[in-house]
């Protein structure tokens, strides 16, 4: 595929199965090929309930399949109602844990969590999915961008493909003197928020826009959902967008290599390059609260690290009032961290947790009481 050829020099063929579960549940793939997980201590509440991030929905489908196969008679009902709804339902005691594209906010949310749990709540980053800068540029088979140049494209400061800033990052390539068409998500989206957070963090203040679930670049054409922006970019020559990697791949779009904050060589989007960024992300939470400093992901300078990824948390009580719930939540998350469940993630387009990072999450999960 063109997607593979553009990144073959940095090993994308080895990651050709890389597809990202849709933020917004555009891809509802099932849990085929997932088997039971060893080393999980089953028991407790038979029917867990959770809700929240739609970005992790396809990963949760696979985790639930493995959980049911590993812990006979136990299941989890996960509702992809959105991160805000998931946090509110957990804080209101309607669910046993939440899935969220962002950690609990200090202040009101952490105070409500303390009241709901009668203990601190922990934010456990469990699912990561890469976001592609996808483009349709006839005659250009590979493209390199850095954070500053991407920010200036997506806020309308750079308007033509042969702009000197783009040309400087792509020596020896013939770039057309054509207007750049920006495609963005017209609906609210965690992908939009995370991509704009990347632009803010990695652009040396070139993207002077708020990072929210609404695209604030002030330029381009909107399309609904991940499939919508992928289709719009595929059908529009000289266009560019941001979208989960699976949609860029299926639309046969180019995926820009990204020069991270360390400078150096452009980095292709692969399972390995995203894992390198995850391994170097800093944790701002204390103890087993693994809240991430996402700027350290977006601004990574690690060689070979691809810096644009969406992280979703499972928000849990550190000490549940009900031992049966604690046992089942712990078992489910142990299942999700098991090799069998993690190995199923690339088929849904997520990145398995690298070993070093997974150990931190495993320690926290095992400490749930």
- How far apart (Å, rounded) are the C-alpha atoms in residues 26 and 29? 9
Question: Coil, strand or helix: which one is 27?
Answer: coil
Residue 5 has a pLDDT of 35
- CATH number listed for the domain at residues 2-7+130-272: 3.40.190.10
CA distance 192 to 201: 14
Local confidence band at 347 (pLDDT 50, 70, 90 cut-offs): confident
Q: Average pLDDT in the 226-237 region? A: 96
Predicted local distance difference test score (pLDDT) of residue 138: 95
Position 39 scores a pLDDT of: 75
Q: Is 270 helix (H, G, I), strand (E, B) or coil?
A: coil
Q: How far apart are the first and last CA of the chain?
A: 48
Q: 207: helix, coil or strand?
A: coil
The answer as to CATH 3.20.20.70 being correct for domain 18-129+311-366 is: no
Contacts of 186 (CB under 8 A, 6+ apart): 215, 222, 223, 224, 228
What pLDDT digit, counting tens, does each position of 7-49 carry?
Answer: 333 333 333 333 333 344 344 333 344 556 777 999 999 999 9
Tokens 């929210």 -> residue: 212
Q: How far is CA 43 from CA 75, 96, 300, 347, in A?
A: 11, 15, 40, 29
Domain ranges in the chain with CATH number 3.40.190.10: 2-7+130-272, 18-129+311-366
CA distance 314 to 251: 31
Name the one residue in this structure whose structure tokens are 């049966």: 324
pLDDT of residue 112: 97
d(CA 1, CA 273): 20
Q: Beta partners for 100?
A: 313
pLDDT score of 12: 34
Position 348 confidence tier, pLDDT thresholds 50, 70, 90: confident
pLDDT at 18: 38
| Residue 58 buriedness (CB in 10 A; 0-12 / 13-18 / 19+) | buried
Q: What is the pLDDT of residues 117-167, one digit of tens each?
A: 999 999 999 999 999 999 999 999 899 999 999 999 999 999 999 999 999
> Dihedral of CA 351/28/250/218: which sign?
negative
Please state, for a pLDDT cut of 90, what percent of the chain lies above it: 82
Mean pLDDT (the chain, rounded): 90
Residue 240: what pLDDT?
Answer: 98
Contact in structure between 297 and 200 (CB atoms under 8 Å):
no
Looking at the predicted structure, is the pLDDT value of residue 345 above 50?
Answer: yes
Predicted confidence (pLDDT) per residue in 267-280, tens digit: 999 999 999 999 99
- Could you give the CA distance from residue 278 to residue 280 in angstroms, rounded to a whole number? 5
- Are 300 and 307 spatial neighbours (Cβ–Cβ below 8 Å)? yes
CB atoms within 10 A of CB 321: 12
């Amino acid at each position: 595929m063109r997607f593979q050829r553009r990144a073959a020099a940095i090993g994308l063929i080895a990651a050709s199965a890389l597809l990202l579960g849709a933020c917004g549940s555009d891809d509802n793939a099932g849990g085929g090929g997932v088997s039971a997980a060893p080393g999980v201590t089953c028991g407790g509440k038979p029917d867990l309930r959770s809700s929240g991030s739609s970005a992790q929905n396809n990963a949760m489908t696979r985790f639930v399949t493995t959980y049911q196969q590993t812990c006979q008679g136990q299941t989890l009902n996960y509702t992809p109602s959105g991160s805000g709804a998931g946090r509110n339902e957990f804080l209101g005691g309607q669910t046993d844990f939440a899935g969220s594209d962002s950690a609990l906010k200090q202040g009101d949310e952490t105070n409500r969590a303390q009241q709901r749990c009668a203990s601190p709540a922990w934010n456990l980053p469990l699912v990561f999915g890469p976001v592609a800068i996808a483009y349709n540029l006839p005659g250009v088979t590979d493209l390199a961008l850095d954070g500053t140049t991407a920010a200036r494209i997506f806020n309308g400061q750079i308007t033509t493909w042969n702009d000197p800033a783009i040309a400087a990052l792509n020596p020896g390539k013939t770039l057309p003197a054509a207007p750049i068409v920006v495609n963005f998500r017209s609906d609210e989206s965690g992908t939009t928020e995370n991509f704009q957070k990347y632009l803010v963090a990695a652009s040396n203040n070139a993207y002077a826009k708020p990072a929210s679930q609404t695209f604030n670049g002030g330029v381009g054409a909107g399309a609904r959902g991940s499939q919508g922006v992928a289709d719009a970019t595929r059908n529009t020559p000289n266009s560019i967008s941001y979208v989960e990697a699976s949609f860029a791949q299926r639309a046969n779009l180019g995926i820009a290599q990204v020069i991270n904050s360390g400078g150096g060589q452009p980095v292709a989007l692969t399972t390995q390059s995203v894992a390198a960024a995850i391994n170097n992300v800093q944790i701002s939470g204390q103890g087993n609260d693994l809240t991430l400093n996402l700027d350290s992901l977006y601004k990574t300078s690690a060689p070979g690290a691809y810096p644009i990824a969406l992280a979703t948390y499972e928000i849990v009580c550190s000490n549940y009032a009900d031992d049966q719930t604690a046992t089942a939540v712990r078992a489910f998350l142990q299942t999700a961290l098991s090799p069998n469940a993690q190995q199923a993630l690339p088929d849904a387009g997520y990145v398995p947790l690298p070993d070093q990072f997974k150990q931190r999450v495993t320690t926290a999960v095992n400490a749930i009481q």
